[in-house]
Structure 1
Amino acid sequence: MKIQKKLSACTSILVGKKAMADNSTIIARNEDAKTAWPKHLTIHEHKEFEEEQVFVSNDNKFTMPLPKVRFRYSATPEWTDKFGLFEEDGINEYGVAMSATESAYSNPRVLGADPLVENGISEEAMVTVVLPYIKSAREGVARLGSIIEKYGTSETNGILFSDEDEVWYFESGSGHHWVAQRIPDDCYAVVANQLAIQKVDLDDPDNFMYSKGIVQFVYQNHFEVDFDNFNFRNVFGTHEYSDEIYSTPRVWYGQKYLSGDNDQDPMSEELPFIRKANRLLHLDDIAYVLGSHYQNTPYDPLNNDNADGHKFRPISLAATQESHILQIRSGMPVDVRGIQWLAMGVTAQSSYIPFYPAATDVHPAYKVGSETYDDKSAYWVYKLAGVLVDAHYKEFGKMLKDTQKEVSILLNNKVHEIDAKALTLSGQELRDYLTTESIACQQIGLDKYNELIAKLITASTALSPLSFKVDVNL
């Protein structure tokens, strides 16, 4: 199997409940792959089968049996399953959230000792074979870990799990070995295409989990001798120049914004994994980071005056397919507890639309869209707005920002209204209500962006290179 670094991937944020102003847990990620590759949003209902099902990947033929009972869950699959499902993120009926994956890379030493498995589990399958079968974030770590130990994995990845109380980050470091760390309640982490977990406390099962035999594997292959200071990133990860321009600057900017740091080096490979913010965080803080491109630094590619504007890979970029913030809110009934905030297309040019995963259906525009532009597709509506702004950012950037602000205000108000009513309902009546209101939220976003598109097209007619100023005296 050919193993190489593919520099197209994601940026993730994980936040413990005491670090958030509203006591929510947060896992969030930009899914980056291609500039024109739509995503859909779907609900898989709870289903009980008479016999065990068998999962077979269209990507690499990874195969495994699945339990007879599949819990309800939401997901954002690709527009086609030709290359695999890539369901990527969702929340299940037990209020457990999962996001997979944050692509990462292992060094040749560990891969030489425990190679990746060509038909092992990969990003494409992870949400599908894990999320519908777990009742807590910790169970998610355990299930994925057992799958990797048994079947191996074909990739190095980071996976995010959360529930009402805990947030976990899972990293596979080789064909069969992995570690996971619980994010402390009062902390956050920003991850960008590198193995990120640092010191692993092998004697702290409340906050760390890891593969069977990992200590023996590391010791026998002479990768580490001081297990009191076992640093997973140093043992399994990479330290290359590409990391310093592609990955660490994104972590640097996220930490700079959330913690107020000014003295860290954006190319440092020693940036800490776990950080504390300099304030209680809100949802819009997370959205800002995921939509960022080094604003107010010399590295912003949208500022033509910056000589270093294209030195580092930004967090938000044209290849983003969708961005999600999975919010699990403390003390809420399970069917109202989770909100899947979904921004279709490029995060910096889109808006996060709230969706309640207990809904039974989604807006028709979230069910369609292929690789060719389609005005009936939510993905393509948001994508078109971004493309039109890109052509004349100096002239149109403010119009986009005004629309984003308006949508944010409308939808945050809508969530307050939905929550208040939802808390008085239960059963099918609640699910029907959440369906109606989630679709209404999606419609608000589409309406406002279609209004923006109309304005952008109209204004663009005056910006043609064929324009000519006519002398009034002629």
Structure 2
Amino acid sequence: MVQSEPFSACTSILIGKNATVDGSVIIGRNEDSRPAWPKNFVVHPAVTHDDSQVFTSQDNAFSMPLPTQAAKYTATPEWTTKYGLFEEDGINEYGVAMSATESTYANARVLAADPLVKDGIGEEAMITVTLPYIKSAREGVKRLGTIVATYGTDESNGILFADQNEAWYFETGSGHYWVAQRIPDDSYAVIANQMAIQEIDFADPDNFMWHPGIQKFVSNYALNPVRQGFNFRKIFGTANQMDTYYNLPRVWYGQKMFNPEISQAVNSYDLPFLRQATNLLSVDDAKTFLSSHYQGTAYDPIGSGSPEDRKRFRPVSLATTQESHVLQLRQFAQPELAGIHWLAMGVAAQSVYVPFYAGILSTPAAYQTSDKVSYQPDSAYWVYKQAGVMVDSHYHEFGGLLSDVQKDLNQQFGQAVIEADHVGQDLDGVELAAYLTKVSTAQAELGLKRYRDLTADLITKATGLSPLRYKQDLNL
């Protein structure tokens, strides 16, 4: 067995509107970093500045001017700004969703021709300088593409955009060159830390966008290993043991979930970027994928496979997940009601996705209080993380209790959304915003209460599982 390298990186999903049961466009991602690295969840109000604005990164020397008008948007920043903002995901007031980033890796021959730019834009800044300034997913691709081409980027990444009509996946392949592909309305894509986009059709600007000089760049430096066509993955991407054991199996599992009739090798390099699912997909399917760990296979870390198989491949959901989000854009006229920012703090497999409407004015205090890396009992991140840690200690004894709470909360959240959708369609303006804030806050508080109660129950039950408690044999 080849041990996977000690990386912690994200997993993403995008689903077109005709591939979903309700016509939603859906994007989602697990933000993976470290086992203990808290997140907050905030709402940035719309702002109009009198003077010109400049963004300056706290992570590197990246700096750029910003428009004077910034739209309202949700975001999940880190507990500290020392290493940058890392706002990661959100929905703005125009109903545009963005998630950044899916870490990817470019090959050495490409980077030799166009190295990464030390003071270029990175993950920590992408949401902040893009989401408040766009009114469609397509605009998001164009804005970020211009920034990457102009200032360069210090890392290779995949970025997700969506609105009510379209989902786009954007990839940077080197210091300045990028491509983006529209997810077909009837298709889905799952991505796991490798260049994903394949053939680029330069005659189809409705479904593809790219750096205007990318074809010349590839030709000038003789970078295309394929005899015909322009396969971005093969030109810019990698094909190594990290892909084999760390990346490809997650894509395989997502496609196995949604296309069980198709037989594919676990770590095949021929797994396609796009597929049409056997059945229409729901927001719950996206959550289930992002919460998965190879259930039903020999590779499940908490399953019944051999010790070697259970640690053979890196799962989608794992202990280093900071937060997991599913950004759903439904077909309602009001963007405040149409968008739902489903947010699971901590490990998705052990947490629960709380529905926050895009129109909310604020988030609960527990979602804004993380300001240090160590445990804070009033932090939403730590409430969900603590329950998971307790389950980890005795997974087979406590897993059922966790699952019961998750199922109950998912049902209650679903009922709350159905009711709020019904009421919200007759509201607008300040009245709608206040109502959606009230509903979202109530669901968030319900989730926190149930998980605090679960933790108390787990602690109580754990007292009887100590190795110092045993039945003594008096015949000894």
Q: When the two structures are superposed, what TM-score results if normalisation uses the length of structure 1?
A: 0.97
Alignment check: 8 A CA contact 2:299 2:305 kept: no
Give the match's secondary structure for 1:382.
Answer: helix
Structure 1 residues 222 and 6, CA, compared in 2 at 3 Å: closer, same or farther? farther
Larger displacement relative to structure 2 (284-293 or 6-15): 6-15
Q: 1:143-182, aligned counterparts within 5 Å? A: 143-182=143-182
Q: Show CA shifts across 1:91-141 (max 9, x none).
A: 000000000000000000110000000000000000000000000000000
Pairwise CA distance, 1:71: 0.5
Residue matched to 2:426: 424
Deviation for aligned residue 1:8: 1.6
Are residue 387 (structure 1) and residue 389 (structure 2) matched? yes
Q: How far off is 1:332 after superposition?
A: 3.3
Q: Please state how far the C-alpha of 1:261 moved relative to its aligned partner.
A: 4.2
Q: CA deviation at 1:223?
A: 1.4
Q: How does 1:182-193 map to 2 (within 5 A)?
A: 182-193=182-193
- Shift of the 388–297 alpha-carbon distance from structure 1 to 2, 3 Å rule, reads same
Take 2:337 and 2:474, find their aligned partners in 1: how far apart are those partners?
A: 63
Provide the residue aligned with 2:134 in structure 1. 134
Structure 2: how far apart are the matches of 1:266 and 1:257? 13
* Contact residue 72 and residue 92 of structure 2 kept, 8 A: yes
Q: Given that residues 338 and 357 in structure 1 are in contact (C-alpha distance below 8 angstroms), is that contact kept between their aligned partners in structure 2? A: yes
Matched, 1:319 2:326: no
Distance 1:139 1:409 in 2: 36
How far residue 306 of structure 1 moved from its aligned partner, in angstroms, is 2.5
SS in 2 for 1:454: helix
Q: What corresponds to 1:445 in structure 2?
A: 447
Within 5 A, what are the aligned runs for 1:67-466?
Answer: 67-224=67-224, 229-261=229-261, 263-307=263-307, 308-369=309-370, 370-466=372-468
* Aligned mates of 2:313, 2:129 — CA distance in 1: 35
Unaligned runs of at least 5 residues, structure 2? none
* SS state at 1:128 partner: helix
Q: CA deviation at 1:75?
A: 0.2
CA distance in 1, matches of 2:174, 2:318: 29
Query: How many Å separate the matches in 2 of 1:28 and 1:85?
Result: 20
Instruction: Tell me the CA shift for residue 468 of structure 1.
Output: 2.1
Describe the superposition over 1:315-362 as per-residue Cα deviations: whole angstroms up to 9, x where unpaired: 000000000000000133111110000000000000000001211111
Deviation, 1:471, is: 6.8
- Residues in 2 aligned to 1:399 and 1:470: alpha-carbon distance in whole angstroms: 29
Q: Percent identity?
A: 56
Task: Give yes or no for contact 1:301–1:309 (8 Å, CA) kept in 2.
Answer: yes
AA in 1 matched with 2:39: K
2:38 aligns to what? Answer: 38
Task: Provide the secondary structure at the position in 2 that maps to 1:229.
Answer: coil
Please give the secondary structure, in 2, of the residue aligned with 1:83. coil
Q: What letter matches 1:22 in structure 2?
A: D
Secondary structure, aligned partner of 2:160:
strand
Aligned residues: 470
Alpha-carbon distance in 2 for matches of 1:316, 1:335: 30
Alignment-mate amino acid for residue 159 of structure 1: I
The Cα of 1:224 is off from its aligned counterpart by 2.3
SS at match of 1:325: strand
Q: Deviations over 1:383-442 (max 9, x none)?
A: 000000000001001001001000000000001111111111111111111111111010
Q: 1:194 to 1:226 in 2, by over 3 A?
A: closer
Q: Is the 8 A contact 1:255 1:261 kept in 2?
A: no
What secondary structure does 1:82 align onto? coil
2:338 and 2:358 in contact (8 A); partners too? no
Q: Which moved more, 1:121-130 or 1:326-335?
A: 326-335
**Contact (CA 8 Å) 2:97, 2:162: kept in 1 or not?**
yes
Residue pairs, 1:7-18, within 5 angstroms: 7-18=7-18
1:254-284 deviations in Å (ceiling 9; x for gaps):
0000111452111111100000100001111
| Structure-2 separation of matches of 1:226 and 1:381 | 50
| Aligned counterparts of 1:227 and 1:364: Cα–Cα separation in 2 | 57
Q: Secondary structure at the match of 1:209?
A: strand
Are the equivalent residues in 1 in contact too, given 2:297–2:305 (CA < 8 A)? Answer: no
**Which of 429-438 and 132-141 deviates more?**
429-438
Residues 335 and 358 in structure 2, CA contact (< 8 A), matched pair in contact too? no
**TM-score relative to the length of structure 2:** 0.97
Closer, same or farther in 2 for the Cα pair 1:225/1:255, shift >3 Å? Answer: closer
**Does structure 1 conserve the Cα–Cα contact (< 8 Å) formed by 2:225 and 2:235?**
no
Query: Which amino acid is 2:408 matched to?
Result: E
- Name the SS for the 2:443 alignment partner: helix
SS at match of 1:159: strand
- How far does the alpha carbon of each residue in 1:189-209 deviate from its partner, in whole angstroms, 9 at most, with x for none? 000000000000011000000
Counterpart AA for 1:428: V
**Counterparts of 1:58 and 1:289, CA distance in 2:** 33
Unaligned runs of 5+ residues in structure 1 are none
